[in-house]
Amino acid sequence: MTKARKVYFTAPRGVEVREETLPALKEGEVLVETVCSAISAGTEMLIYRGEFPDETGSQDSISHDLRYPLAYGYATVGVVRKLGKQVAKSWQEKHVFAFQPHCSHFVAASDSLFPVPDSLSSETACFLPNMETAVNLVQDAAPILGERVLVFGQGIVGLLTTALMREFPLECLVTADHFALRRKASLELGVTASLDPGPKNFHETAKNLLPQGADLTLELCGNPSALNDAIALTRFSGRIVIGSWYGRKKGDVDLGSAFHRSRIKLISSQVSTISPELSGRWDKPRRFEVAWKALERIQPEKWLTHRFAIGEASKAYDLLDKNPRETIQILLTPQ
């Protein structure tokens, strides 16, 4: 029998690593030894802080019964070590991606796994879910040649989305984030400017870069109050794509006279589904293929700032909670 170590959220700001005995392999299952897994600084921190709602929508492909104790995570890469009787031998020692909570080993059906392309490292493959999210955001945003675009939030999803936006012939691309480390990473992508939204003159500075306002704004920072900045800086008939999951966080959104007359569109974007306008031509496998190719081009390993052994998972979450300005992407590893 194989023992595995697994990360559990046990209470707000409570993290334990538990040892469990894995079940025997069924005919169509494999045993995977984890190489690394990526922590989501958005969704997982809502769970860590106890800010998640009682339940997620049934359409969410990674939805859980969100009650403590809870194992959560969805960006794990490992190597197949053992095969069930009905699994093809070609799976042996294959590098695979799985939507799997943080653990040292796990058992999964082979058809639920994604083979990692030979061109990508295990660490880069951990970015697959966030890249799929970025692809979905760009598809929902549908940028147009020559548009002026503003992106709030330069965490991993924001940086990946910005990197994809840089591939479009935009007139300008401006980003905003409170943390200097993330603004620096954004500037290295070649954006027009990356601003701190904290100072009182933020709107004035942004408007100087975005004459008449942004045609397209993406809110990816996870802070509901940023919606007011987005509304104020988006021009008449512009679009605001909201990709953040706020959990239980609420904010006062100003939908007063300026918004009322603006004909601005507020668009909800979430990766578990495909926009109805695209679903006749697009499905999940096609979108994953686009995401793999985007990872090859963008190589997001450069945004890895910390690695923690799984036994030190509580330190990783404490760092994200108390000093997020020092981090971009954190990985957990078995050792």
How many angstroms separate the CA atoms of 20 and 308, rounded?
20
Q: Write out the H or E segment, with its range, that includes residue 294.
A: helix 284-298
Q: Is there a single domain that holds both residue 38 and residue 136?
A: no
> Strand 95-98 relative to strand 76-83: parallel, antiparallel, unpaired?
antiparallel
Q: Is there a single domain that holds both residue 255 and residue 160?
A: yes
CATH number of 224's domain: 3.40.50.720
Give per-residue pLDDT as tens, 282-318. Answer: 999 999 999 999 999 999 999 999 999 999 999 999 9
Q: Is there a single domain that holds both residue 263 and residue 313?
A: no
Q: What percent of the chain has pLDDT over 70?
A: 96
Q: Is there a single domain that holds both residue 118 and residue 229?
A: no
Q: Is there a single domain that holds both residue 264 and residue 139?
A: yes
Give per-residue pLDDT as tens, 210-244. Answer: 999 999 999 999 888 899 999 999 999 999 999 98
Q: Is there a single domain that holds both residue 145 and residue 31?
A: no
Evaluate if residue 15 carries a pLDDT over 60: yes
Q: Is there a single domain that holds both residue 61 and residue 161?
A: no
Evaluate if residue 274 carries a pLDDT over 90: yes
For residue 78, being part of any structural domain is answered with yes
- Residues composing the chain: 335
Domain count across the chain: 2
pLDDT recorded at residue 253: 86
CATH number of 42's domain: 3.90.180.10
Evaluate if residue 248 carries a pLDDT over 90: no
How many angstroms separate the CA atoms of 72 and 102, rounded?
7
Q: Provide the residue type at 56 as one letter.
A: T
Q: Is there a single domain that holds both residue 244 and residue 312?
A: no
**What range defines the domain where residue 97 resides?**
3-126+300-333
Q: Is there a single domain that holds both residue 139 and residue 120?
A: no
